Structure 1
Amino acid sequence: MTEAMLYQGVEGFVYWLRSRPEPMVVLVIDQFEELFTLASSEDRQQFFNLLLGAMEYAADKFKLVLTVRADFIASCLEIPALATLLQQSSVLVPPKLTDEDYRRVIVDPAEQVGLKVEPGLVEVLLQELNHSAGDLPLLEFVLEQLWVCRQAGELTLAGYQQQIGGIKGALERKAQEVYENLDSQAQECARWIFLSLTQLGDGTEDTRRRVCKSELVVQKYPDELVEKTLLALTAAKLVVVNFEEEDILAGNKGETIHPISSSSAVTIEVAHEILIRHWSTLRWWLEENRSRLRSQRQIEQSAALWKQNQQQPDFLLQGIRLAEAEEIFVKYTDELSADVQYFIAACLDAREQHQREQKKRLRQAQRAIAVISVLGIAASGFGGLAYFQKQAAQLREIAALNASSQAFLLSHQQLESVIASVKAGRELKQVFSPHQDILLATAATFQQAIYQTQELNRLPGHSQQVNAVIFSPNGQILASASDDKTIKLWRTNGSLMTTITDSQNRVTAISFSPDGKLLAAADNSIRLYGIDGKLIQVFTGHTDIITNVSFSPDSKIIASASLDNTIKLWRIDGSLINSWQAHNGWVNTVDFSADSQMIASGGEDNLVKLWQATDGKLITTLAGHQGRITRVQFSDDGENIAAASGDKTIKLWDANGKLLQTIEAHSEQVNSIKFSPDNQVLASASADRTIKLWQLNGNLIRTIQNSESVRDISFSVDGQVLASAGADKTIRLWKVVNEKTLQTRDIRSVSFSADGKTFATAGWDGEIKIWQGDASLTKKFQGHGDIIDAVVFSPDGENLATASADKTIKIWDNNQQLVKVFTGHKDRVTSISFSPDNQIIASGSADKTVKVWQIKDGNLLHSLAGHTDEVTSVSFSPNVKLLASGSSDRTVKIWDNQGNLVKNITGHGLAIASVQFSPDGKILATASWDNTIKLWRVADGGLIHTLTGHTDGVTSLSFGFDGQILASGSADNTIKLWSVKDGTLLKTLLGHPGKVNSVNFHPDDKVLLSGGDDAGVMLWNLDLDDLMQQGCSRIADYLQHNGDLQSGDRSICRDE
């Protein structure tokens, strides 16, 4: 009957209203905006007519209450009658509710139906909400759950926390229920959606991420499937759909909007971040896919950047990043957008083209060899052909080994990377007169392998996860304990001494006595061994697994922690001294203070507790961690206490319990921490597969990448080596100090002396440092009162020039005595260049001028004007007849020695950062913030090559001594080595964590010097003979003692 009247339109609806016995009919329409998103324009108009007609003809019997999102108000106002009603009777809800608003939302509806709300419940709800767009749907859901479990007419805190598990528990159960009710296809799609809606934290919490709906539609998950899944998730209030104005207006123009439009204006986000942090299914998906997702999103950003820049080849991926993209392309093609697939394909095409060019050069070299072979036929028959074939095979093998070395580094197989480079070096030594390109590519790959390889040795032998590792006090033995129920004792060179096999359970912890005579091991009991591995005593008493053991400094007492919630103290004869209930839950860790007076413990209750060692009385409790305590340790000097936690952080307290630092350390649980022997460094190991070294002020020193979760770590006695125990069943030894990086910060300029025996560095602090070639600092002095932008040795090695933001150039002798000061620039001096004959010096300045000075008397010879922006770089030609200058005005100018402008070169798209003449003076190289390097013929200014590959501005250039190689430093944190002859990229050097500001070749080309932001100065060794010695020294113990090596690999260093 009702439907029949409704079909009659406004008249039918009004008739129905007037036929009702109630004095008033109130119609409530929630989410009124769905009329604009779910209905066709025709249906929408009919519905509007029905409502507005009733308002006009049955106003005494009919009231309309509707809720509409603020971003749809504009759509409502386009309907005149509705606009009038809204202007007269609307109540605006502010976009961000205050705490008082939230209280009213919670309490008022309950009171209207006679329910009480426990005051404590309101406050807890306010604390757990994060005042975001998803709060009201989430609050509605939680209040519905509270209604179901109300007690005696009251919504209680106990019901909230215990029955529905708070917001976290309620939401997790709801999410899991919704997910499990989806069909298998929709479940896969839901997984894809939630992963896409999560912003991966980088050492921080994962957070929600808003994405366009169109980004979710890929080959594997077509539009219909995504839409169906989103409708289920939005109906359950797990995700929120946001419609932007252009989508809404499209609907008002008569277009039919799909239920969840694929327009780029429609965005999706997780309703609340609690879902990301506490839904265990989603956490598992994230951990399973984290590495791949991070790489994939970087590729997506690169694809977008390439598209934004008109698909310029400069923005294509190369090297390691392309290898990652190719792997993702192969494995997950159907999860990539068409744009990303096209981008990766373009990158691969570019690589193929580059490889074809390399093969072409190889064929040219082969033809040259063939000519030599033909010339020698009369004397040697067909021996030349055999020689050529052998040489070609050797070159192919070397290229393959170099590629393997890089691939091993990428997959964190560091020792294998060094082995591959050693093999490439040995092979190259067999090649007669190898081309400079292959020499440099091999040396640079080798250098990269040695620099990035912190792993010294790898000890296989355990058949299951290794739980603990520790060096003996005398530094001669390394002990390891494993889930395979064994303990192994190793010499520090990696040779196995003995395996202890008498445990019946997995061995969870081990500890050497400080006097070095005993080893305690834990499973369900404590087993005490001599240093030879013979069992001395078994301590029993704990009723569950023992998690940790620690000797007192005098070696007379052992403390043990257990899953039975207790700490026990034992004499070394096995007699129990004391036992107490330590934590509300498992006790995971114990440690004695250096003076034996205190014991620290950590447990599942997120607390660190300090106890008197004599009687077990609680001294204090250190709170603050939001997750289980996995490890506590006192520093040997007694000054600090550190704790590692499942909340991914490390906390550092002083001896009095004052919190000094909270270090946001890892992206997963921190499993272990250790102070270095000098108490200056704290090492941490994590389930995120990394080991990190920290200064005690919380600054990160270095990250070491492992292949699997790291369970435990231990410093060697001298602090130079760190041992790690891993879930990959191995023990690894890592080099703690990186000798290649000189610890000086924020370097602006570097320069080798003419004889290569010393080099100078300068930077932001105005200080000049002089170093020996072996990287030992010999002198440092304050050169300027402001930033030093350039430091250059004179060609005769007698002087050093510096240029500064204080507007001066200074000349210093070899005793660091000031010889001369040049003044005259009106702004900072950015660049300087000595003439090869040592007679004059040129300077470029932010005052837009180039000045040329007589060194002997300091007279100004020329002031060259013409640039319209700051001059960033100057360079003399080898014959002193020409001077080149580069500027932020995007031009390069070449001047003669009389100060006349000879050429004006244009072609770069952004500011020029560096100009350099080749050693023969025939080529001018220019670097720009447009990410490119260009090589120009000096004779006519013609462009020879444009070198692309950097992904940020190119800051510095340096030619090798013979002019065949060009090095470039960049703001993309890399250094690249290029062949000048054909412009091809030979090698990318990685290592600077910040912008590279300056590069300079050693006079013999065997070392490259670089300086940059944050990491200071680096020396890149390109001497193949020296690299062979270093590489073989680095892997000597591994080659000799690792049982997993192939027999042929053991002998690769016997001649080195």
Structure 2
Amino acid sequence: MARQERPLEEGDSAVLRFAADLRELRRQAGQPTYRELARHAHYSPTVLSAAAAGRKLPTLAVTLAYVRACGGPVADWEQRWHELQEPEPADGAEPPYAGLAAFQPADAERFFGREAVTEDLRGKVARQRFTAVFGASGVGKSSVLRAGLVAGASDPASVVLFTPGPRPVEECAVRMSGLTGRSPAALAEELTADPAALHLWAREVVAEQDLLLVVDQFEEVFTLCRDPAERARFIEALLLAAQAETSRARVVVGVRADFYPHCARHAELARALRDGQLLIGPMSTDELRSAITRPAVRAGYTVEGGLLAEVIADATGQPGALPLVSHALLETWRRRRGCALTLSGYREAGGISRAIARTADAAYQELTPQRQRVARELFLRLTALGEGTEDTKRRAARAELGTGQDMTAVLEHLAQRRLLTVDAEFVEIAHEALIRGWPRLREWLDADREGLRTHRALTEAAQTWRSLDRDPSGLLRGTRLATAQAWAASSGFSLSAEEQALLDASTAAEDLERTGERRRVRRLRQLTAVLVILLLLVSISTVAAVSNAISTAQQRDHALAQQVLSQAAELRAVNPALALQLGIAAYRLDPSAASRSSVLGALATPYSTTLGGFSALVQTVVYDPKGHFLASAGDDSSVHLWDITDAHHPAELPALTGPHGAVMSLDWSGDGRTLVAGGHDGKLTLWDVSDPHHIGASSTVDSKLKAVFSVRFSPDGKQLATAGYQPDGDSLRLWEVTAPTRLSPRPELPKLGTVMYFVQFSPDGRTLASVDSQDLSGHEAIVLWELADPSSPRLIRRLTDGPDYTFSVAFSADSRELAVAEVNNSVRLWDISSRESPRPVGTLSGYANAVRSVQFVGSGRLLATGSDDSTVRLWDATDPDAPQALATLTGSGRTLAIAASKDGSTLAIAAHDRVVRLVDLNQFVEPVRTKGETYAIALSGDGRMLARVDRDAGIHLQDGNSVRQLTPLGLGPGAGGTAVGFGATGHLLAASFFAGDSQVVGLWDLDRGIGPVRITVPLDSTSISLSADSRVLAVGTSLFDLSDVEHPKQVAKVPAKQGLVSYVAFNPRTRALVVGSDRDTTLWDTSDLTAPRKTASLGVASGAGAYTVDGSTLAVAARDNSVRLWDLGSNTELAKLSGHSDVVLSLAFSGDGRQLATVGEDHTLRLWDLTDRRAPKEIATIAAHGDTIRAVAFTPDGHTVVTASADHTVRHWETDVDLAIAQQCRLVWPVMTQAQWEQYLPGLPYEPPCPEAA
């Protein structure tokens, strides 16, 4: 007979009530014995009995096990436990961990784990006078600078440490005033006038030791400083202080890694960075172990082994995990058991993924509703919205926040909870990890980002107005005022006194102007009545007034359109659909060159459709084999399904539930029947998704891992590989798939390491690649396994053996190459055609942070990579030894996962902003990728064939979708293509190459299959041209008779004595030839081939030229970067076209002669309207390529332009705005809402740019 349970003690404490309710739950379950409960709960009867004894609150894990065993509502009990559970009361002890705050110089004694980096930095600073420390947010840069470098300075008096803030020159002056003894105002004025002043101050104040000037959070000069001139002066001052010949300063700046491109845009700073930078990566396992255990041991505490292992597993390889670890350990310390920091305390705190959120939510919930509103607005004020980068913290002056009782109480409360850093002057968020890790704050930020941008613009305008002593010139006017008024009226956001004063004064000034306008109108009417006899004059005045009114409206529309275009550019990365529609709306409002350029260039990068509504970070995405469905999952424990049959109009399906804790990896079986998920709870969940609209059976399997990081099906679907964390090193496992939702474990593999990040099968199913963070020998390793016998995989080769972490790998479609994403800001390509002897080939570089994801797309020619620098980059890997960058997609926050559909048509991207983007790789302006630089292109008369010559002396002919290389001329190394042209009928093709000191031309008769016929002449030009009848070829100034194509005969040489000839071109209607050179441009009559006759000299040096189809007009590219138009009938200059910022290299007329396209060294394609050739107008400028554009051509349809660039691409561009808009409207979803319209185009009637998209 079961022993009677001891009655609860008398009393009404919360713990006793909790225990009584546990007993009641057990009674409702049929009063099972504790021995019976133990079989289901996996805890001993003694532990379960103690949980309901009422003597102390049981741990969360025991509570939930008890509840599950009794069939109770787990979520309700978990919430109740958290409401009851309180950290151990403070005993006055100093915590061993800093939490979210950075370590300060005074914290040096408890700063562990970064000793090696600190020594590297000290050595670098000792050797050179300028050093930039780069690293991801949360990697510990500030702590290394403060508790490492500054704390170790031999003379603290010669150290100046500060963050730049919105006024970096002023901040520098304030900090230096303490050393110089002069007023900050005087120093700021001096430094503004002369950036060299900082160098002189350093020489003035130092004695024996150089001045150590440390600028932490240097990215604030880009995020908070809005004055480009002040930013430039501050950077110049730092560089002069460090680089002057008599320098006595050593300058160190700490910069978030995703701001490297911002630094690189400053020429002098970029030069300083070449040798003066130190990259801080994520902590190694040993460094993490030191950072976790040594502060605790120093303070007299112990760390449980299970806690140490779990924290390391959670944090390893995550660049931004350090503040999360520190905060989670601080909360664990608060839940300590005596002197022990326990795993249960860590889990109760929420671990590194949820501790910050729980602390912040608890602090927020402790406030009254009124003070919660104050806290919400405070956090929004203290966040700087990212522009192509992650959101960052913003330091705000106390004066901006006000001194009300509620604000003061909220500041004290949040500072006590270590969420804010507060001093006498400024307030800021303790660490940017709070912005990333607190879902509530992310929701606030994402709810109205454009509204927050409007508010931030109002804040900055108020600060500017104050700096101008409230001069009327600083007031808001026009659309800026209207936008601010609309936002302030609708948002309910509390404005600061300064912001409200600016808004009131601006509104009053506008009202005064309107009153004055009404008075003027009234006086005008009175005057009209008095002067009725002067009706004719009044009529004239009325016409003028109407004209002025129209002009005013046009100016208003132009100003609003410019603002909308700017907003569209900001939104392009985060909300492409809205950005496209705003660009279209701006064009319709004001069809200017700028708005037309925006529309025509909008699809130069791939367009994406956004999938939103996620409540937490999305860690993994996967397509079904047919590309009709997408699954995503992450920190919210749910698996989301989408029907993407129409990728531009996705439909969300009911979410799948099952896993407990974050889901880190998903995979879809090759037959499409099974979806598997693995995550932090160590379980595998499988669903039958034969019909994703109607989910079938599901099952849960214990993975035998403490946490699952990666799951992958074999191509035939018969095996499943899992990788994760297992303390005994058995972190890689294989399973046999016996049914869609049933698994059977295969024999254990050799133990490699405690943490396995990633696993991947090759497409041919013969090889498995596994990625360890550290193997048992202490090194990172990528291992290739042979799967000839699935029941006994054979370890073939360790691919790498070094200190750098690898996040993921991807096999090419033919299984012959492997791409490896590495933490050292690169992707390495390996040739693994021989599995026994793999060899490294090309490297993909240029990233500002670690590369987390890599994926071959489609056939394997295209490679996609996702990085922590907030970019996804597309590469052409046709030549693995020399991969070529094709496009960079800038997102919102670091890229967490990417996946490609099997046909390569779409790419799914999950980023830190909790949005999944479906990038359409078909609909953007698809470039033709070339192996070498393309030097020239030509289109046949009917537009069917495109010929191009490359730097490698190859000539390629594209007909429709097929590309073939014509028989090469065998010119040997060092030769390169220079020019190409079709005859008028399209059957004759000529191409020019340089080889040594000769020019070699190849001729092909494409109809008769003749060629190449080779012509060699001395190198006096690199240009060729065929006459209109294809019977004469000009090779530079040499003329060849092609009556017999197989035996061309040189008949004459144009006696042009004008220096190096840049180009020659025949008139499309006559035998007239233009010869352009660095001295002059001349025209020649070659009707008599034996005696060419000069007919005109234009008197302008030119490097390129083109005729209209009718031969009446010539355009030449002058050496001053302009283009000149000449009327050949009268031999007079019609117009000069200016706009290019560098040399123009190629020109082309449309078939009707009404448009001209020009390209050159400035990487732009410019379109000109020549309807009136004496007054041409630039109608569009498109940033068409990432390098010099060497050639341009119009297709016969008249609205498509082809460009060829040194960036190894040939692109096609739509020049008809209406056709471009129609194409874009077929893509956009969702349609721009009325609320969005009113936000971006206030005061205009709602006219959605793409109504048909609804």
Do the structures match in fold with TM over 0.5?
yes
C-alpha displacement at 1:293, in angstroms?
Answer: 2.3
**Which residue in the other structure is 1:488 paired with?**
640
Q: Is the 8 A contact 1:406 1:445 kept in 2?
A: no
Q: Is the CA contact 1:404–1:420 (under 8 Å) kept in the aligned structure 2?
A: no
Q: Give the one of 215, 235, 240 matched to 2:209.
A: 235
Matched ranges for 1:195-594 at <5 A: 219=192, 235=209, 266=245, 285-287=255-257, 289-297=259-267, 403=565, 407=569, 413-420=575-582, 445-450=598-603, 452-492=604-644, 493=647, 494-521=650-677, 522-530=679-687, 531=689, 536-540=698-702, 544-552=706-714, 554-555=717-718, 557-562=720-725, 564=727, 566-567=730-731, 569=733, 582=751, 586-592=755-761
Matched, 1:992 2:1162: no
Question: CA distance change for structure 1 residues 260 and 606 in 2, over 3 Å: closer, same or farther?
Answer: closer
Is residue 784–residue 796 contact of structure 2 (8 Å, CA) maintained in 1? yes
Confirm or deny that 1:728 pairs with 2:913.
yes
Q: 1:826 aligns with which of 992, 1009, 1018?
A: 1018
Quote the Cα distance in structure 2 between the aligned partners of 1:734 and 1:901. Answer: 56
Unaligned runs of 5+ in 1: 1-123, 139-164, 197-213, 241-257, 277-281, 302-319, 322-326, 334-376, 429-437
Structure 1 residues 757-811: Cα deviation after superposition (integer angstroms, max 9, x where no partner): 4443334455554444x45447845478565533333345564444454646666
Residue identity (%)? 19
**Aligned partner letter, 1:743:** R
- Cα displacement (A) at 1:480: 0.5
What is residue 669 of structure 1 aligned with on the other side? Answer: 850
Opposite residue 561 of structure 1, the aligned amino acid is G
Deviation at 1:919, TM superposition (A): 5.3
**2:1233 touches 2:1248 (CA, 8 Å); kept in 1?**
no
Which residue of structure 2 aligns with residue 1030 of structure 1? 1223
Deviation per CA, 1:360-408: give whole Å up to 9, x if none: xxxxxxxxxxxxxxxxx9xxx99x9999999969995996599469725
Q: Paired residue for 2:373?
A: none
Q: Which amino acid aligns with 2:616?
A: Q
For these two proteins, the number of residue pairs brought into alignment is: 769
Distance 1:331 1:861, change over 3 A: farther
Is the 2:199–2:240 contact (alpha carbons within 8 Å) kept by the matching residues of 1? no
| AA partner of residue 673 (structure 2) | K
1:855 is displaced (CA, Å) by 5.5
Q: What CA distance in whole angstroms lies between the structure 1 residues aligned with 2:1163 and 2:188?
A: 30
1:174 corresponding residue in structure 2: 149
Paired residues of 1:992 and 1:1015 also in contact (CA < 8 A): no
1:874 aligns with 2:1091: no
Counterpart Cα distance in 1 of 2:1014 and 2:876: 44
Partner of 2:1213: 1020
Summarize the Cα distance change of 1:677–1:802 in structure 2 as closer, same or farther, 3 Å threshold: closer
Who is 1:244 aligned against? none
Secondary structure of the equivalent of 1:446?
Answer: helix
3-state secondary structure, aligned to 2:1227: helix
Residue 1006 of structure 1: how far off its partner (Å): 1.3
The answer to whether the Cα contact below 8 Å between 2:1039 and 2:1053 also exists between their aligned partners in 1 is yes
Partner of 1:710: 895
Q: What CA distance in whole angstroms lies between the structure 1 residues aligned with 2:1112 and 2:1061?
A: 23
- The CA distance in 2 between the partners of 1:1018 and 1:958, in whole Å, is 15
- Relative to 1, partners in 2 of residues 1:464 and 1:746: Cα closer, same or farther, differing over 3 Å? same
In structure 2, what is the equivalent of residue 756 of structure 1?
943
Distance in 2 between residues matched to 1:568 and 1:800, nearest whole Å: 59
Task: Tell me if structure 2 keeps the 8 A contact 1:1039–1:1049.
Answer: no
Change (3 A) 1:653 1:1026: same
Change in CA separation of 1:221 and 1:691 when aligned onto 2, cut-off 3 Å? farther
Contact 1:529 1:536 in 2 (8 A): yes
Matched, 1:747 2:934: yes
134 and 853 in structure 1: CA distance in 2 versus 1, 3 angstrom threshold: same
* Structure 1 residue identity aligned to 2:936: S
Letter in 2 for 1:1054: E
Rate the CA distance shift 1:526–1:133 in 2: closer, same or farther, 3 A: closer
Which residue number in structure 1 is paired with residue 980 of structure 2?
791
Match of 1:630 in 2: 807
Shift in Å, 1:933 = 2.6
Q: Residue 661 of structure 1: CA displacement? A: 3.4
- Rounded Cα–Cα distance in structure 2 between residues aligned with 1:559 and 1:480: 18
Question: Where does residue 693 of structure 1 map in the other structure?
Answer: 875
2:601 is paired with a residue whose SS is helix
Unaligned 5+ segments in structure 2 are 1-114, 130-139, 173-186, 215-236, 272-386, 389-453, 462-538, 1239-1245
Aligned residue for 1:895, secondary structure, equals: strand
The separation in 2 between residues aligned to 1:573 and 1:454, in whole angstroms, is: 40
Deviation at 1:130, TM superposition (A): 12
* Structure 2 equivalent of residue 354 of structure 1: none
Contact kept in structure 1, 2:1104 and 2:1146, CA below 8 Å: yes
Deviation at 1:727, TM superposition (A): 0.8
Deviation at 1:1030, TM superposition (A): 3.1
Q: How many Å separate the matches in 2 of 1:573 and 1:810?
A: 65
2: CA distance, partners of 1:233 / 1:609:
56
CA distance in 1, matches of 2:1155, 2:918: 37
Is the Cα contact below 8 Å between 1:829 and 1:843 reproduced in 2? no
Deviation at residue 220 of structure 1 after TM alignment = 10
Answer whether contact 2:1001 2:1015 (CA < 8 A) is retained: yes
User: Matches of 1:607 and 1:903 in 2, distance apart?
Assistant: 72
Q: Contact (CA 8 Å) 1:976, 1:989: kept in 2 or not? A: yes
- Shift of residue 1015, structure 1, vs aligned partner: 2.1
Partner of 1:602: 772
Q: Deviation string for 1:13-43 (max 9, x for gaps)?
A: xxxxxxxxxxxxxxxxxxxxxxxxxxxxxxx
Q: How does 1:896-907 map to 2 (within 5 A)?
A: 896=1085, 899-907=1092-1100
| CA apart distance, 1:671 | 1.1
Contact 1:458 1:1042 in 2 (8 A): no
For 2:929, the aligned partner's letter is Q
The superposition leaves residues 586-637 of structure 1 with CA deviations (integer Å, 9 ceiling, x where unpaired) of 3322345665885623215532345787579976544334322322456676
1:953 aligns with 2:1143: yes
2:985 counterpart of 1:815: no
- Pairing partner for 1:658 from 838, 845, 852: 838
Code of the aligned partner of 1:491: D
Note the alpha carbon deviations across 1:28-63, whole angstroms, 9 max, x for none: xxxxxxxxxxxxxxxxxxxxxxxxxxxxxxxxxxxx
Q: CA RMSD in A?
A: 5.7
Opposite residue 245 of structure 2, the aligned amino acid is: V
| Distance in structure 1 (CA, Å) of the matches to 2:622 and 2:907 | 10
Which residue of 2 is the match for residue 154 of structure 1?
A: none
TM-score by length of 2: 0.52
Gap change, CA 1:600 and 1:943, over 3 Å in 2:
same
Cα shift at 1:966? 2.1
Shift in CA distance, 649/1000, structure 1 to aligned 2, threshold 3 Å: closer
* C-alpha distance in 1 between matches for 2:980 and 2:1202: 13
The Cα shift of 1:478 comes to 0.9
Cα distance change of structure 1 residues 535 and 511 upon mapping to structure 2, 3 Å threshold: same
Write the deviation string for residues 216-260 of structure 1: whole angstroms up to 9, x where unpaired.
9963996555655686799368689xxxxxxxxxxxxxxxxx999
Distance 2:798 2:1250 in 1: 56
Structure 2 residue identity aligned to 1:871: V
